[in-house]
Amino acid sequence: MNIRKLLSSAMAACLLVLGAMLPCAAQASVVIAGTRVIYNATDSEVTLKLSNVGKSPALIQVWLDKGDPKADPSKLDLPFVMTPPLARIDPGKSQTIRMAYTGEAMPQDRETLLWFNMLEVPPKPTAELAGPNYVQLAFRSRLKFFFRPVGLQGKADDAPGKLVWRAGTQDGKPVLLISNPTPYHVTIIEAQVGEGLHAPKFDAGGMVAPGGELALPLSAAPAAGGKVSFTTLNDYGGPMKHEAALQ
């Protein structure tokens, strides 16, 4: 089987087991140095380091998609070049992935969200391991990839403080309604209205797009005039604490 067919088969298997990947994550060998990619339009390229911490060689494939995890990489047309798109990483070794913007038109008034994908294909098992009951899995990782044009108003770190929070209902249940007037994406990992163990809260994670709105389900209805305490992720994937008035 050639590499193209191997990767195609591995990707299909990966999509089938995607929902069950978390319990098996410890078996993956290749780790990514980072939790997100920020590509500023002024950068000539951005790099990402992949390291094989396992005991066997691994074959990896990388690509970007627009948000559909089931999209066929061979049919995607995005203005970025990934080098190398395929690579073998030996145990204890690393591979640097270089990503370069080719200059085609992209929205200039806001960030664009894409997704970086890495598919890891384990080596063929030895004759001793292979058998009728042997199952071989491919592992897929996805990271948020933000393309940031030149000249956006404000700074990404200031965007969480400009969110507008309101109390509301959705399908008869209490929610926090968030409006984002900035050109940056804001990832929220938790939010709480008021204080105490029984304060209405949200801890499932979500992201509000530039100029967009997001509804976060609450565990209970918040009191009027409360204060929202919430945590976001910065460009380095680190948590940042914030407070805001509930309108």
Instruction: Say yes or no: 113 and 204 in one domain.
Output: no
Quick check: 63 pLDDT over 80? yes
Instruction: Say yes or no: 31 and 142 in one domain.
Output: yes
The whole domain housing 216 covers: 156-245
Last residue of a domain, one of 121, 148, 175: 148
* Across 133-143, average pLDDT: 80
pLDDT band with cut points at 50, 70 and 90 for residue 110: very high
Per-residue confidence (pLDDT) for residue 3, from 0 to 100? 43
By the 8 A CB rule, do 190 and 230 touch?
yes
Quick check: 133 pLDDT over 90? no
Quick check: 24 pLDDT over 50? no
CA distance 180 to 232: 13
Quick check: 8 pLDDT over 70? no
Instruction: Say yes or no: 87 and 209 in one domain.
Output: no
Instruction: Say yes or no: 77 and 116 in one domain.
Output: yes
Per-residue confidence (pLDDT) for residue 27, from 0 to 100? 64
Quick check: 7 pLDDT over 50? no
Instruction: Say yes or no: 94 and 63 in one domain.
Output: yes
Per-residue confidence (pLDDT) for residue 196, from 0 to 100? 86
Structural domains in the chain (count): 2
Instruction: Say yes or no: 196 and 227 in one domain.
Output: yes
Last residue of a domain, one of 120, 148, 176: 148
Three-state SS for the chain is: CCHHHHHHHHHHHHHHCHHHCHHHHHHCCEEECCCEEEEECCCCCEEEEEEECCCCCEEEEEEEECCCCCCCHHHCCCCEEEECCEEEECCCCEEEEEEEECCCCCCCCCCEEEEEEEEEECCCCCCCCCCCCCCCCCEEEEEEEEEECCCCCCCHHHHHHHCEEEEEEECCEEEEEEECCCCCCEEEEEEEECCCCCCCEECCCEEECCCCEEEEECCCCCCCCCEEEEEEECCCCCEEEEEEEEC
By the 8 A CB rule, do 219 and 209 touch?
no
Instruction: Say yes or no: 142 and 79 in one domain.
Output: yes
* Across 97-118, average pLDDT: 96
Identity of the residue numbered 186: V
Buried b (16+ CB within 10 A) or exposed e, 3-16: eeeebbebbebbee
Beta-carbon count within 10 A of 62 CB: 22
Last residue of a domain, one of 87, 119, 148: 148
Query: Residue holding tokens 């640097």?
Result: 96
Instruction: Say yes or no: 96 and 30 in one domain.
Output: yes
Instruction: Say yes or no: 161 and 131 in one domain.
Output: no
Quote the pTM value. 0.83
By the 8 A CB rule, do 79 and 64 touch?
no
Per-residue confidence (pLDDT) for residue 172, from 0 to 100? 92
* Across 227-234, average pLDDT: 96
Instruction: Say yes or no: 88 and 187 in one domain.
Output: no
* Across 121-143, average pLDDT: 74
Quick check: 136 pLDDT over 70? no
Mean predicted lDDT score pLDDT of the chain: 87
CATH number at residue 238: 2.60.40.10
By the 8 A CB rule, do 158 and 180 touch?
no
Instruction: Say yes or no: 181 and 239 in one domain.
Output: yes
Residue 208: is it exposed, middle or buried by C-beta count within 10 angstroms (0-12/13-18/19+)? Answer: buried
- Upper half-sphere CA count for residue 167 (Cβ side, 13 Å): 20
152-206 residue pLDDT tens:
999 999 999 999 999 999 999 999 999 999 999 999 999 999 988 889 999 999 9
Quick check: 23 pLDDT over 50? no
